[in-house]
Structure 1
Amino acid sequence: MNDRTIVHLQGINIEQAGQRVLSEVNLNITKGEFVYLIGKTGSGKSSLLKTLYGALPPAGGQGQVAGFELQALNRRTIPGLRRRLGVVFQDFNLLSDRTVEGNLRFVLEATDWKKEQEMQERMAEVLSEVGLSGSAGKRPHQLSGGEQQRVVIARALLNRPEIIIADEPTGNLDPETSDDILLLLRRLADEQDTAVLFATHDYRILEHFPARIVRCINGRLIDDEGVSL
């Protein structure tokens, strides 16, 4: 492990409802790295992601994410971890009664931003980064699915995360829009040195845009070390 390591898991066991889901998980992800996470439904992908963002404590082993020890997380320290992560889900989970700016502001205020000018500048920055500079005043229903997912990514970027954890972020999108979202996340990894762990069922994406692959299979995590399908 070095100072560019964002995720370091060693011998981690993951359980859901008392059942072992993944055993002896070893995983290292460094700053700026783009990694696919694949596996069948029920193979443990979402459980692994929940462990990384502090929603599911490990049942054994050692793990660090963005400098936080997973075994030592508690209600007081989990918010600190999550400020250093960006999480993007398949379901957009945007607040329908607020504008795009209102959705972003909600996160900033919840993570202790206080100064209005700084909040305005940061919201403008992230909307520019995802190609939505003119959409701050729109409500989610006025946006396409791809645009809504860009808002979700903008929201995830607000606190300058060290890693973006993306759980099936293109699952509800058509192929062309899926490619746009994928390329956006890969550009962010390259330009901002942000690691991205991208869980997907879409093997078409893996074939067209190869990168390192880790697989959940038979209760284990297998690292393909950059071998494309």
Structure 2
Amino acid sequence: MSKLIVRLQDVVIKQGDQEVLGGVNLRVNEGEFTYLIGKTGSGKSSLLKALYGALPLVQGQGEVAGFDLNQLNRNTIPLLRRKLGIVFQDFNLLNDRSVYNNLLFTLKATGWSKRQEIQARIDEVLQQVGLAGQGPKMPHQLSGGEQQRVVIARALLNTPALIIADEPTGNLDPETSDEILLLMRHLSKQNNAAVLFATHDYRILENFPARIIRCLNGKIFDDQEISL
């Protein structure tokens, strides 16, 4: 039986004083790839922020990767985030250091200390994203698609139970977008990691179907439940 990675029940999410989403019920299983769609301002990013502890739940119950979202505090939020891989539209790479040192920075920040284990893990994730041997390069020497592959490699470092991807192809051309999407679907299977992939690129949804969660009018809808 699949393990539940995300469980939200009757959740309300606010940005400041404004309710963005209400009555949210969501379940995502281990290894499941799910699109999250909706217009700009529909609450996609707010939902994702709630999952990684950047926005509190105003009401309802939530659990992500074994962490109770209602019990999060300054000490437990970093522990939750070690169970997650987060990929943004903007690459957020450290431009003053190499690909290898970008990944090294993340590993050291999350408690890795043994040089051989660090080297092996960095080599492994770069291999997984198709960038074997690219560790010495600086971010500016890479294409946009390659930089996003580095970001995905960074997200994989701590073997996440859930990868949260917030418009990861938003700055990429269609061909590169398809490559990044297919890579993430492959990695989801290979690592048995759940993926929530927020996008407004409906071309991707048509070409590469998967489960769809839709943000609309302050609610979320699972297309599996409303399709005929």
TM range (shorter): over 0.9
Distance 1:36 1:172, change over 3 A: same
Unaligned runs of 5+ in 2: none
Cα separation, 1, equivalents of 2:114 and 2:121: 11
C-alpha contact 1:12 1:24 (8 A) present in aligned 2: yes
* Mapping for residues 74-223 of structure 1, pairs under 5 Å: 74-223=73-222
* One-letter identity of the residue aligned with 1:38: I
Distance 1:201 1:84, change over 3 A: same
Cα deviation for residue 219 of structure 1 reads 0.4
* One-letter identity of the residue aligned with 1:187: H
Cα deviation for residue 225 of structure 1 reads 1.8
C-alpha contact 2:106 2:154 (8 A) present in aligned 1: yes
Aligned residue pairs, count: 227
TM-score (norm 2): 0.98
* One-letter identity of the residue aligned with 2:6: V
Residue matched to 1:40: 39
Cα deviation for residue 15 of structure 1 reads 0.3
C-alpha contact 1:85 1:163 (8 A) present in aligned 2: yes
* One-letter identity of the residue aligned with 1:224: D
Unaligned runs of 5+ in 1: none
Secondary structure at the aligned position of 2:10 is classed as strand
* One-letter identity of the residue aligned with 1:133: A
* Aligned-residue RMSD, C-alpha: 1.2
Cα separation, 1, equivalents of 2:67 and 2:153: 24
Matched, 1:20 2:19: yes
* One-letter identity of the residue aligned with 2:46: S
Secondary structure at the aligned position of 1:225 is classed as helix
Cα separation, 2, equivalents of 1:227 and 1:126: 38
* Mapping for residues 62-73 of structure 1, pairs under 5 Å: 62-73=61-72
Cα separation, 2, equivalents of 1:24 and 1:65: 17
* One-letter identity of the residue aligned with 2:107: L
Cα separation, 2, equivalents of 1:226 and 1:153: 30
Quote the sequence identity (%).
Answer: 68
Q: Stretches of 4+ moved more than 2 A in 1?
A: none
* One-letter identity of the residue aligned with 2:57: P
